[in-house]
Structure 1
Amino acid sequence: MLTPRFGGALRHAAQLHRNQTRKGTTTPYISHLMAVSALVLEHGGDEDQAIAGLLHDAIEDAGETRESLEKVYGARVARIVEECSDCDGTEPRPDWTTRKRGYIDAIAAKSDDAVLVTGCDKLHNAESILADFHATGPAVFERFTAGRDGTLWYYDTLATALAGRAPADLAARLRRIVSGLLDAAEAA
């Protein structure tokens, strides 16, 4: 059962990301955070993991700190969110390739909690990219810093890295989606 703490985290996430939209769309960013949290719950996650799903971009993209999250949600949630961040939110950020390579390299050492949230985050992102690809074609990659090749490399490499760590059904679903994205991009 989810407690009022989850509702508070949902409100907190909505407030933190209130002015953000999904990359290249008008879709409110909170939709992604809710989807990640739902995927966490669907894959057996508990309330702390689901809260971390709602807040997984709070440090990286919304200026929160591990300390502020720990004060409100506890050490476990704060640790998961920190592990799911590819940078600490300070500027200037390292370049995209450095951040993403570091993120992938860190998967082997992430806690099981963070692997679950990471897998759900990347699954929802990949599903969204594939759906947008089917709607708009290769132009979808113009939204991303790394363009077509970098985006495909990132998700393919992530799916491989998560295959040995994430729950089997989650890893298999991510691989199917990423393979579909690779096939669609190759055919275009």
Structure 2
Amino acid sequence: MLQYAIQVALEAHKGQKRKGTSIPYIVHPIEVGIILGQNGAEEEVTIAGILHDTVEDTDLTLEDIERMFGAKIRDYVEGVSEPQKGIPGVTWRDRKEHTIEYIKGANLQVKLISCADKLSNMRSIYNDYINIGDALWDRFNAGYDEQKWYYINLAKSLSSLGRSDYNMYFELCDIIGKVFGV
């Protein structure tokens, strides 16, 4: 199933690049899967991590995910997807406020996927920040202040992971501190 998830994600994200770079997008979901595996996540959680952006950023639907991988993985993917993405009038801030609130009450599996996703993103942000400095923030629809607000509050929503032995949570908090000076 894991190999199949990689194949599905590879095909779904074909031709996509990481924001503002020439890096193939598939690097991100694969890294999310690796982070989850390193933190002891169950195979179904790791699979959902690899597929986590397919519903938001490709033509795949939740129904497709369920048909290919079952209801549990579909539920995990749905739990980390932003349902309001692409809806006219819903702002970036609206979507992120919803995510922050949703994650507070989410199940452990969704929190793990969300944490791995954000850690992968923050690793990229940190590396790019070291290389290009403040020009990095021009890549995003929301700039430095908004990104700082989002990542700090998302880390707070994931704080229950800090009561367990999930190294990814502590690394996420460390990188947020380095990038945003908190």
Q: TM-score, normalised by structure 2?
A: 0.93
Query: CA RMSD of the aligned region, Å?
Result: 1.6
3-state secondary structure, aligned to 1:26: coil
| Cα shift readout 1:46-83 (whole Å, capped 9, x = no counterpart) | 21111111100111111322221111101111001000
> Which residue is 1:173 aligned to?
171
Give 1:161 deviation, angstroms: 1.4
Which 4+ runs in 1 deviate beyond 6 A? none
Contact 2:84–2:95 under 8 Å retained in 1: no
- Give the distance between the partners of 2:59 and 2:90, measured in 1 at CA: 16
Match of 1:51 among 47, 50, 55: 47
Give 1:87 deviation, angstroms: 2.1
2:152 maps to a residue whose letter is: D
Unpaired runs of at least 5, structure 2: none
Contact 1:62–1:89 under 8 Å retained in 2: no
Please say which of residues 159-168 and 124-133 is displaced more in the overlay: 159-168
Indicate the structure whose relative CO is greater, using CA pairs within 8 Å and at least 6 residues apart. Answer: 2
Q: TM-score, normalised by structure 1?
A: 0.90
Corresponding position: 1:131 with 2:132? no
Unpaired runs of at least 5, structure 1: none
Give 1:171 deviation, angstroms: 1.8
1:24-35 counterparts in 2 under 5 A? 24-35=20-31
> Which residue is 1:42 aligned to?
38
Identical positions, percent: 33
Please say which of residues 131-140 and 160-169 is displaced more in the overlay: 160-169
- Give the distance between the partners of 1:26 and 1:170, measured in 2 at CA: 26
